């Protein structure tokens, strides 16, 4: 596992590759963001963006979502994976937001994770994107990158990856690095045939360490 300094070097390098990285889901407010992130599980953001305009037109508020039925919600999202379960999640989520949170998206991880379909990753994404909190949602891309580039131990859990990256990053960089890592994972550090070695600056810190060890 790399030192904190080298870990930060790799993360800063990835940030430099994607200076304008940001969310790829389409949304207008924190409620729409929350719904979109719940829908994005095991589905591409591109696919989610195809179904959310119709969904948000039919169910523009938590109250509207609560008044709908899972079957009605399904008709708007049946082009994405796991739509049957996601429709049930959205109905329950809308009901909770309306009844327990006065139609407002809560601003704490604990409260968000009380909502149907919301785990730690989803909660962290919403806190970061909607409320500018220094949280990091670790997905499969970030997990793969962290292990491939030795930012964490090979057997690190998702929570350990989150804690490690948070520990080396300045809080103001967390939003940027989160979205840069996702782009890097989609385009360069892919599951098959990764192209990371085309970017030698990623490895310069490791090379310096090796030189020091042998010098």
Whether 127 and 142 share a structural domain = no
Residue 208 has pLDDT above 50, yes or no: no
Q: What pLDDT sits at residue 212? A: 38
SS3 per-residue string spanning the chain: CCCHHHHHHHHHHHHHHCCCCCCCCCCCCHHHHHHHHHHCCCCCHHHHHHHHHHHHHHCCCHHHHHHCCHHHHHHHHCCCCCHHHHHHHHHHHHHHHHHHCCCCCCCCHHHHCCCCCCCHHHHHHHHHHHHCCCCCCCCHHHHHHHHHCCCCCCCCCHHHHHHHHHHHCCHHHHHHHHHHHHHHHHHCCCCCCCCHHHCHHHHHHHHHHHHHHHC
Q: 84 in a domain, yes or no?
A: yes
Could you read off the pLDDT of 59-85 as tens digits, one per residue?
Answer: 999 999 999 999 999 999 999 999 999
Residue 111 has pLDDT above 90, yes or no: yes
- Note whether 52 and 32 are within 8 A (CB): yes
Residues 96-107 have a mean pLDDT of 98
State the sign of the Cα–Cα–Cα–Cα dihedral 154, 12, 136, 181: negative
What mean pLDDT, rounded, does the chain reach?
A: 94
Q: What pLDDT sits at residue 150? A: 95
- The active-site residue out of 100, 139, 163, 173 is 139
Q: How confident is the model at residue 210 (pLDDT cuts 50, 70, 90)?
A: very low
Residue 103 annotated to the active site:
no
- Note whether 105 and 130 are within 8 A (CB): yes
Whether 121 and 148 share a structural domain = no
Residue 67 annotated to the active site:
no
Q: 11 in a domain, yes or no?
A: yes
Domain that holds residue 10: 4-20+136-203
Q: What pLDDT sits at residue 206? A: 62
pTM: 0.92
Residue 215 has pLDDT above 60, yes or no: no
Find the CATH number of the domain harbouring 52: 1.10.340.30
Residue 114 has pLDDT above 50, yes or no: yes
Domain final residue, candidates 92, 113, 131:
131
Domain final residue, candidates 102, 131, 160:
131
Find the CATH number of the domain harbouring 151: 1.10.1670.10
Could you read off the pLDDT of 4-20 as tens digits, one per residue?
Answer: 999 999 999 999 999 99
Higher pLDDT, 16 or 212: 16
Whether 14 and 82 share a structural domain = no
How far apart are alpha carbons 133 and 207 in whole angstroms?
Answer: 34
Q: Which of 141-145, 197-201, 203-207 has the lowest mean pLDDT?
A: 203-207
Residues 150-175 have a mean pLDDT of 97
Whether 140 and 113 share a structural domain = no
């Amino acid at each position: 596992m790399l030192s904190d300094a080298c870990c930060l070097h790799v993360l800063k390098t990835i940030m430099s590759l994607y200076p304008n990285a940001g969310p790829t889901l389409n949304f207008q407010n924190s409620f729409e963001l929350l719904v979109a992130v719940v829908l994005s599980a095991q589905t591409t953001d591109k696919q989610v963006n195809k179904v959310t305009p119709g969904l948000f037109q039919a169910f523009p508020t938590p109250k509207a979502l609560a008044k709908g039925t899972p079957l009605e919600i399904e008709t708007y999202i049946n082009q994405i994976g796991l739509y049957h379960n996601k429709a049930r999640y959205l109905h329950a989520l809308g009901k909770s937001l309306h009844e327990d949170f006065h139609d407002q998206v809560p601003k704490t991880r604990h409260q968000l994770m009380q909502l149907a379909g919301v785990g730690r990753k989803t909660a962290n994404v919403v806190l970061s994107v909607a409320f500018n909190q220094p949280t990091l949602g670790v997905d499969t891309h970030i997990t793969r990158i962290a292990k491939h580039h030795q930012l964490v131990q090979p057997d690190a859990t998702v929570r350990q990856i989150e804690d490690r990256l948070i520990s080396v990053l300045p809080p103001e960089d967390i939003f940027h690095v989160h979205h840069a890592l996702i782009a890097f994972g989609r385009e360069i550090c892919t599951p098959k045939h990764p192209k990371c070695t085309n970017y030698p600056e990623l490895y310069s810190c490791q090379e310096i360490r090796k030189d020091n060890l042998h010098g």
